[in-house]
Amino acid sequence: MTDRAGDSVPSMPQHVAVIMDGNGRWARARGLERIEGHWAGYKTLKRIVYAADDLGIRYLTVYGFSSENWRRPQNEVSGLMRLMYAAMRAELEDLIENGIRVRVIGRLHQLPDELSDIFYEAMRSTEAYTRMTFTLAINYGGRAEIVDAVRAIARDIADGRISADDVDEASVAARLYAPEMPDPDLLIRTAGEMRLSNYLLWQSAYSEIWVTPTYWPDFTPELLLQAVQDYGKRTRRFGAVVE
Ligand code: IPE
Ligand code: IPE
Ligand code: MG
């Protein structure tokens, strides 16, 4: 396989998911407020979206705000809501110009109206694009997503559309927030923590995990390439025996 520059890239991951962690620690190390770390993280994200597209990654999904992040101090939460709104306002035009499809997954109805409105606008105005799909997980929780899928199944059973015996993995997968998206091949977490923090629990069943101690604001396209190259050396078994 080759990237857009024609260089050889061994077995490219089709879908890369990222837990962008360490903004707070990055800020603290510099004597800054946590929110300043989040703004620095936004700048990094901007570079990484285009770097992923240049590499030929088809799906990039990033964790922007978890359903548990409401537990943070109120000023950090409201600062993050303002940042997400300003960032989407500022970036939408460039994303459109570059033909990048934007999706947002999570319980968007619980976000401030202004924020969910701009997310819907971004999704609407880029839905025809096929270059790269850039998905933001906002007010997202893997358990909440599965609960929402189970509720949808329960409604379908109650209304007689399907029977309980017909429920299988495909029935659950079909009711996730972005059902047509392939599962992540590679899951990157920055800032060193070795946990999923409720991210894409269903979809990451067989994802290859790559962790770097680098805080998210210091993450670079070079590190993304390193993760992708390391992924190329992994052997995926999916439970089977591979010689
Ligand atoms: C990740 O950075 C961004 C969000 C969760 C919004 P953190 O804010 O979790 O940074 P640390 O983990 O406290 O360093
Ligand atoms: C996960 O990071 C959420 C995001 C990156 C948006 P957290 O910083 O919230 O995760 P924990 O609390 O360390 O598990
Ligand atoms: Mg964190």
Domains in the chain with CATH codes: 15-142+186-232 (3.40.1180.10)
Atom of ligand 2 lying closest to residue 63 CA: 6
Centre a 10 Å sphere on the Cβ of residue 56 and count the other Cβ atoms it contains. 17
Ligand 1 near 23 CB (within 6 A): yes
Q: What is the pLDDT of residue 4?
A: 58
Atom 14 in ligand 2: residue holding the nearest Cα: 197
Enumerate residues lining ligand 2, CB below 6 A.
19-21, 63-66, 69, 193, 195, 197
- Phi/psi for 130 (5° steps) reads -125, 5
Q: What is the reported pLDDT for 242?
A: 83
Q: Which ligand is nearest to the CA of 140?
A: 2
The helix (run of H) or strand (run of E) holding residue 207 is none
Looking at ligand 2, which atom is closest to the CA of residue 20?
A: 5
Strands of the sheet with 15-19, listed across from one edge: 100-105, 132-140, 59-66, 15-19, 186-189, 208-211
Give every CB contact of residue 35 below 8 A, 6+ residues apart in sequence: 27, 75, 76, 79, 80, 83
pLDDT in tens, the chain (243 residues): 555 555 554 589 999 999 999 999 999 999 999 999 999 999 999 999 999 999 999 999 999 999 999 999 999 999 999 999 999 999 999 999 999 999 999 999 999 999 999 999 999 999 999 999 999 999 999 999 999 999 999 999 999 999 999 999 999 999 999 999 999 999 999 999 999 999 999 999 999 999 999 999 999 999 999 999 999 999 999 999 987
* Pairing status of strand 15-19 against strand 100-105: unpaired
C-beta neighbour count of 94 within 10 angstroms: 12
Sign of CA dihedral 15, 77, 93, 215: negative
How far apart are the CA of 54 and the centre of ligand 1, in A? 27
Among the options 54, 69, 156, 183, which is catalytic? Answer: 69
**Given this model, what pLDDT does residue 85 score?**
98
Q: What is the pLDDT of residue 10?
A: 54
Q: Give phi and psi for 220, each to the nearest 5.
A: -130, 165
- pLDDT in the model for residue 6: 53
Residue of 19, 70, 80 best suited for mutating to test ligand 2, as the one with most atoms within 8 Å of CB: 19
Residue whose pair of structure tokens reads 């997400």 in the numeric block: 84
Distance 3 CA to ligand 3 centre (A): 32
Confirm whether 21 is a catalytic residue: yes
CA 21 to ligand 2 center in whole angstroms: 6
